[in-house]
Amino acid sequence: MSRNFTLFLFSIFLLVLTVPSIAQQQDTENSLLPEIDPQDIEIRSQFKARFPGIRRQPILGFDPTPRVYQVDPNRQPFMETQEQVVANLPVSELSRPNPPGYNPMTYSENIQAYSRLGYGSYSSPEATFWGVHRLSETSYVGGDLDFSSSDGHLDGQPSSFRFFNANAEYATKLDQDTRLQFNAGGQSDFHYLYQLENLLPAQQQLGKDYTGFHLGGELSRFQNTIDGWNLEAGLQYFDVDLEDDTFTGDVNETVYRASFAKRWAGNNVSETFTVKGGVRSGVYDIGDQQEGWTTLQGGVQYQRLFNYITKVTGEANVYYAADFVEDKVYFAPSLQLEHTFAEGLKITGKAEGKPYLKSVRQHHEYNRFIASDNILRHAYEIKASGEVSLEYFRGSTLHGGVSYSNTKNLPYYSQSTPTPGNSFYRINYENATNFRIYAGLTHQLLPERFWVNGRIYAQSPKLDGGDKVPFQESWGINSSVHISPIKRITVEGWLDYIGKRETGITGQELDGIFLLGAQVDLEITERFGAYFRGVNLLDDNYQVWEGYSERPLQLYGGVTVKL
């Protein structure tokens, strides 16, 4: 082997060793990728960040799939600085990557109007409507309607009813921080008091009409989600009319309300103060005379989040309550604690005391068979409760709790005569206590495909004398299941059970109520569909109020339109 050939091989060997080092140095100086010190890698491998009370989320600024800016390979290399390279890239390449698209659940589509028209057995039409229309970038108008009626579900006596309720709303932004809203609505309900027919002359029927309307407005101004104020006012009119003069039953009521709240941030992080006040007053008829009631409230609220895991909300309120029987000042404190022990595990405790009064409308809509010449009184409730909730899987939660209440002048219902089904119900007031325990489950087995809800509770509502509160069950169950085997079909089922209830008459109680229902929704097109529903599928002969049978098995069918 000649000497020249040996030198040639040695030169190639040196070139092989030198070129990668030079290329690596040039790539390091001109690369757009961040430099990583080996020491940083070692430190990062041992570093763990813990944020109590905050769910796992990506560390800001870290992208597991970083975007590498591509440089034109045909241009002359190493002639530009890093700033010049970036400046020449398209603006779109420098923008932050778009977030993942939001896909709403199939049952909550982004629509502007929804309507459902159907018809059921026993001559039972029904209609539901909801819609909203944006007038401009700063205002919208919306409304909803709910109608249902039925006729003839009982043999040998009138049993028809009608429920109709409609509402409208308008909202606009006066400026960037100020929002103005108006709302209005009306109702027209009717039902026969069919079990009272034996007290009336032959061929005479007794029906009960509910009519009314409400108006309201709200003005709010918030510089952000914390600092601002809110003003709200409204009135409500409600009228009860019996179609026969044999019984005294006509009554009308007007309720006025107004409230104001001012909230601002404190000196500490996540600390707010709120000052609020309000008035609610009503006038109603008792026979030929008119009575009234008033509830005044004033107080302050303090709220703060400690270490992002404990939220404290405290209130100190003073109420002035005046009604037909008495007028009194009540101190109404409230304290609520929410603490997050671990990811998904939260405990909530609350203790409060405050007065309240149910209006004529609230009583008559809850019990359709009460008399009209009842006196309204304030009740004062002291209540303590605690709840534990655990989100063991995304969209799946276990929760349970316990509560105890002690109420002065609790309103409850009893029949005015000892003969069931032959009289109106009356409102009574008595001190009472109630111990309640419950547990529930919300589980989403497959997102948008299969989910279930369930809740079971037990309680012991007792009057001061030791008797149970009439028409209050000792335990019950509420449950539902939703199944969507394919995108265009949704099957829903529900099961409710209410245990036996005492009637207030010695030796008489109502059997438990076992209600099973189901509904199938079929989406034919994106805008048009059909539905089928069954109510009281077991054809249970039940009574919510003694002497007044409710509807048996009913089947419905109709169409659904979405815009």
The two tokens of residue 536 are 């009281």
Please compute Rg for the chain using Cα positions.
34
| Angular region, 186: left φ>0, alpha ψ -120 to 50, beta rest | beta
What span, in angstroms and rounded, lies between the C-alpha atoms of 457 and 225? 37
What average pLDDT does the segment 266-282 reach? 93
DSSP single-letter state for residue 264: E
Q: What is the pLDDT of residues 230-239, one digit of tens each?
A: 999 999 999 9
pLDDT for 446 equals 76
CB-based contact 480:493 (threshold 8 Å): yes
Residue 135 scores a pLDDT above 50: yes
pLDDT for 36 equals 46
CB-based contact 373:251 (threshold 8 Å): yes
Residue with tokens 């104001």: 260
Q: What is the pLDDT of residues 332-380, one digit of tens each?
A: 999 999 999 888 899 999 999 999 999 999 999 999 888 888 899 999 9
Percent of the chain with pLDDT over 70: 75
The two tokens of residue 379 are 């009740």
Let me know if the fold of 117-345 is the same as that of 378-563.
yes
What span, in angstroms and rounded, lies between the C-alpha atoms of 41 and 247? 88
Residue 119 scores a pLDDT above 70: yes
Buried b (16+ CB within 10 A) or exposed e, 383-396: bebebbbbbeeeeb
Buried b (16+ CB within 10 A) or exposed e, 208-219: bbbbbebebebb
- E strands in 137-203: 139-150, 161-173, 178-192
pLDDT for 195 equals 54
Q: What is the pTM of this model?
A: 0.77
- What superfamily would CATH give domain 117-345? TonB-dependent receptor, beta-barrel domain (2.40.170.20)
The two tokens of residue 353 are 């005391």
Element (H, E) at 411: strand 396-415
Q: What is the pLDDT of residues 51-109, one digit of tens each?
A: 444 444 444 444 444 444 444 555 444 444 555 544 444 443 344 444 444 344 444 45
Of 447, 345, 341, give the one whose Cα is nearest residue 397.
345
Q: What is the pLDDT of residues 477-515, one digit of tens each?
A: 999 999 998 889 999 999 999 999 998 887 788 999 999
Task: Name the residue ranges covered by the structural domains of the chain.
Answer: 117-345, 378-563
Q: Which residue has the higher pLDDT, 358 or 28?
A: 358
| Angular region, 544: left φ>0, alpha ψ -120 to 50, beta rest | alpha
**Residues whose CB is less than 8 angstroms from the CB of residue 239 and which lie 6 or more positions away in sequence, other chains included:** 209, 210, 211, 212, 250, 251, 252, 253
Integer distance in angstroms from the first to the last C-alpha of the chain?
90
- What distances in angstroms separate CA 58 from CA 55, 64, 370, 398, one per listed residue? 10, 9, 59, 26
Residue 15 scores a pLDDT above 60: no
Confidence of residue 289 (pLDDT cuts 50, 70, 90): confident
Element (H, E) at 3: helix 3-30
What average pLDDT does the segment 239-259 reach? 81
pLDDT for 22 equals 42
Residue 148 scores a pLDDT above 60: yes
What span, in angstroms and rounded, lies between the C-alpha atoms of 300 and 242? 45
DSSP single-letter state for residue 370: B
CB-based contact 403:349 (threshold 8 Å): no
Strand pairing of 513-523 and 489-498?
A: antiparallel
The two tokens of residue 361 are 């409308």
What span, in angstroms and rounded, lies between the C-alpha atoms of 85 and 23? 19
What span, in angstroms and rounded, lies between the C-alpha atoms of 292 and 323? 6
The two tokens of residue 204 are 């005479």
Residue 254 scores a pLDDT above 70: yes
Residue 178: half-sphere exposure toward Cβ, Cα within 13 Å: 5
pLDDT for 282 equals 96
CB-based contact 115:129 (threshold 8 Å): yes
What average pLDDT does the segment 381-402 reach? 92
What span, in angstroms and rounded, lies between the C-alpha atoms of 97 and 224? 28
pLDDT for 283 equals 96
What span, in angstroms and rounded, lies between the C-alpha atoms of 388 and 532? 38
Residue with tokens 């028809």: 160
The two tokens of residue 365 are 């809509």
Residue 21 scores a pLDDT above 90: no
The two tokens of residue 323 are 């009604």
- What superfamily would CATH give domain 378-563? TonB-dependent receptor, beta-barrel domain (2.40.170.20)
Of 263, 264, 239, 265, give the one whose Cα is nearest residue 250.
239
pLDDT for 392 equals 85
- As a whole number of angstroms, the longest Cα–Cα distance in the chain is 138
Where do the H-state alpha helices sit in 31-62? 38-46
Buried b (16+ CB within 10 A) or exposed e, 283-299: ebbeeeeeeebbbebeb
Where do the H-state alpha helices sit in 355-438? 360-366
Task: Work out the mean pLDDT of the chain and round it to a whole number.
Answer: 81
The two tokens of residue 346 are 């939260």
